[in-house]
Amino acid sequence: MDVALSLDNVTCRFGKLVAVDGLSLQVRPGEVLGLLGPNGAGKTTTLHLITGLLRPDSGDVRVLGYSPWTEARQVRQRIGLVPQETNVYDDLSALDNLWHHAALYCDNLDAVAGRMEALLRLMELWERRADRLRTYSGGMKRRLALARALLHDPPIILFDEPTLGVDVQGRHVLWAHIKSLQAQGKTFVVSTNDMNEADVLCDRVVFASHRLRRCG
């Protein structure tokens, strides 16, 4: 099987708390995989293990064959993370938020300007590009965070709770954007505590009733 991402028997502890307990899963290129579970199930921890922000106590993670710890650069080039908390700057415009991110993370700033425009248009934010984010709705901020994660054109996107706190209309817009990116070949891992979201959005779901455990 073609594999974009794999976790093999991954365990992550915080002191005595086992946040992720022997989780195994594989994500195929081009699919949207859901991590579904209640608060505290270990979803965010799992996404951070994939990016290399956290290191497991045991087990192995591979991103297109690369290790997040020994091959961090290769992994970061291939992954875009949209974090659970939308950590954008409310006093900056959409464009300035993207430039700030690009200055920190993108190698080729010349190529990035054109990409910013394309992504802001794609996310239907181009008309609002000069507005400060404090004037944006929750859904618009999530779309900007998605545009930011796509700046370096990674094949894999990790989207932590895409529509938490987003109104109904905004949820449908975000889902449509994720689906169209999937149609363009992107692979997604999406965490959610919302069964409806998992049902609408995901091709396959890893369900965690309490904590993320061994899964197929």
Ligand X SMILES: Nc1ncnc2c1ncn2[C@@H]1O[C@H](COP(=O)(O)OP(=O)(O)O)[C@@H](O)[C@H]1O
- The span from the CA of 36 to the CA of 175, in Å, is 16
Number of residues that bind Mg ion (CB under 5 A): 3
Segment near ligand X (CB under 6 A); pick from 21-29, 43-51, 147-155, 167-175 = 43-51
Which residues, other chains included, contact 92 with Cβ-Cβ below 8 Å and sequence gap of 6+?
100, 132, 133
* Residue 154 dihedral angles phi and psi, to the nearest 5°: -75, 150
Two tokens at 65?
Answer: 């064959």
* Residue 212 dihedral angles phi and psi, to the nearest 5°: -70, 120
Segment near ligand X (CB under 6 A); pick from 41-49, 96-104, 109-117, 141-149 = 41-49
Check binding of 39 to ligand X (CB under 6 A). Answer: yes
CB of 11 to ligand X, least distance (A): 12
Check binding of 111 to ligand X (CB under 6 A). Answer: no
Q: Which is nearer to ligand X, 156 or 206 (CB)?
A: 206
Residues 53-92 that bind Mg ion (CB under 5 A): 84
- The span from the CA of 51 to the CA of 44, in Å, is 11
The one among 4, 26, 34, 44 contacting Mg ion by CB under 5 A: 44
With contact defined as beta carbons under 8 Å apart, do 201 and 47 qualify?
Answer: no
Name the amino acid, one letter, at 58: S
| Helix, strand, coil shares, percent, the chain, to 5 | 40, 25, 35
Q: Which is nearer to ligand X, 39 or 70 (CB)?
A: 39
Site string for Mg ion, 4-43 (x = CB under 5 A): ---------------------------------------x
CB of 104 to ligand X, least distance (A): 22
Q: Which is nearer to ligand X, 24 or 74 (CB)?
A: 24
CB of 46 to Mg ion, least distance (A): 9
CB of 44 to Mg ion, least distance (A): 3
List C-alpha distances in Å: 140 to 5, 135, 171, 179, 206.
Answer: 28, 10, 10, 17, 28
With contact defined as beta carbons under 8 Å apart, do 46 and 33 qualify?
Answer: no
Check binding of 97 to Mg ion (CB under 5 A). Answer: no
Residues of this chain that bind Mg ion (CB under 5 A): 43-44, 84
Residues of this chain that bind ligand X (CB under 6 A): 14, 17, 19, 37, 39-45
